Amino acid sequence: MTKVSIYFIRHGIAADRAGYDRDGDRPLTEEGHKKTKKIARKLNHLGLKFDLVQHSPLVRAKQTAAIFAEQGYPIAQSEYLAPEGDFQKWLDWFRNWQESGISPGINGGGRSDLSLGLIGHEPDLSAWAEVLLWGEVRSVLVLKKAGIIGLAVPEPETPIANSLLFMLIPPKILL
């Protein structure tokens, strides 16, 4: 079992719904691209390295993940991170990943701690974080586009109502 930091990252600024039949097709705007790139670089520069970045299948989340991939992190799509995705199924995956202690990417396994990035949507991301923090959704966390929430997940037990919040960074702080 391995200690994990989970970083919930909201996708960058995306195009308006007008012009797109499906919400999932909306891409990042030019501003969204630019700001997200700055933030991904800054986080890397600050020493935050992801062993894996999971992302929602929606275009704006995929594009956000691609920007993080430029920093050298492995990325993987997860349907659980789509809006109203299945938290329980994601948690099963997570527990398994944490137990194996093996990242499929740059670290090659056997590490004593892992960093996992989750790129998705609101209100799901902050709701997931809140369940890990205090076991229920309280809707008190404010996560802006390209903002980031950092949670420390304990080693041996369930992360639910058992994690610590060590970071909540509004995007403007990293620009």
CA distance 168 to 55: 19
Amino acid making up residue 120? G
- CA 55 vs. chain centroid, Å, equals 7
Residue among 95, 134, 137, 160 that touches a copy of itself (CB under 8 A): 134
Nearer to a copy of itself, 17 or 138 (CB): 138
- Residue 86 sits at the vertex; the CA angle it makes with 15 and 49, to the nearest 5 degrees, is 65
Q: Does 110 bind a copy of itself (CB under 8 A)?
A: no
Q: Does 154 bind a copy of itself (CB under 8 A)?
A: no
Length of the chain: 175
Q: Which residues pair with 68 in a beta bridge?
A: none
Q: Does 152 bind a copy of itself (CB under 8 A)?
A: yes
**Which residues, at least 6 apart from 96, have a Cβ–Cβ distance to it below 8 Å?**
none
Q: How far is the CB of 27 from a copy of itself (least distance, A)?
A: 27
Residue among 5, 61, 163, 171 that touches a copy of itself (CB under 8 A): 163
Q: Does 146 bind a copy of itself (CB under 8 A)?
A: no
Q: How far is the CB of 150 from a copy of itself (least distance, A)?
A: 8
Nearer to a copy of itself, 76 or 173 (CB): 173
Q: Which stretch binds a copy of itself (CB under 8 A): 4-12, 27-35, 69-77, 161-169?
A: 161-169
Q: Does 49 bind a copy of itself (CB under 8 A)?
A: no
Which phi and psi angles does 51 have, rounded to 5°? -80, -25
CA distance 157 to 30: 42
3-state secondary structure of 78: coil
Q: Which stretch binds a copy of itself (CB under 8 A): 9-17, 24-32, 53-61, 166-174?
A: 166-174
